Amino acid sequence: MTIRKNDIVQVITGEEKGKTGKVLSLDSSAGRIIVEGVNFIWKHLRRSQQHPHGARIQKEASIHLSNVKVLCQSCNKPTRPVAKRLEDGDRVRICRKCRQAVTPEA
């Protein structure tokens, strides 16, 4: 999987096309991610002690992995990074466009 938590991604298709945000969580078995500030839904809550009259809150919903691309920090373009193994055995993700290492903003 080429997308990791804390990566900056850009949505490439769908209603939220063109928006960017940081990956908050990743569900690799379902192939879905939650991106900060993208794909908001309304969640209806029943009455409780915290919300005596019930509530409607807005939160981010998940989107499919195929609908986003990682933003390269050096060339600032969306890309699907390639995994490359270095001489010392480390594995890094490489931007297909500028050939620089793609690192998450942690």
Residue 89 lies in a domain: yes
Residue 20 lies in a domain: yes
Residue 3 lies in a domain: no
User: How far is 94 from 96, CA to CA, in rounded Å?
Assistant: 6
Q: What percentage of the chain exceeds 70 in pLDDT? A: 96
Residue 59 lies in a domain: yes
Q: How many domains does the chain have?
A: 1
CATH number of the domain within which 35 lies: 2.30.30.30
Chain-centroid distance of CA 3 in Å reads 7
- 23 - beta bridge partners? 35
Average pLDDT over residues 3-29: 93
Looking at residue 82, its pLDDT comes to: 87
Q: What percentage of the chain exceeds 90 in pLDDT? A: 60
Average pLDDT over residues 54-75: 93
CA distances from 53 to 42, 45, 60, 93 (A): 16, 9, 23, 49
Looking at residue 1, its pLDDT comes to: 62
Residue 102 lies in a domain: no
Q: What is the pLDDT of residues 76-101, one digit of tens each?
A: 899 988 888 888 888 888 888 888 88
Looking at residue 105, its pLDDT comes to: 65
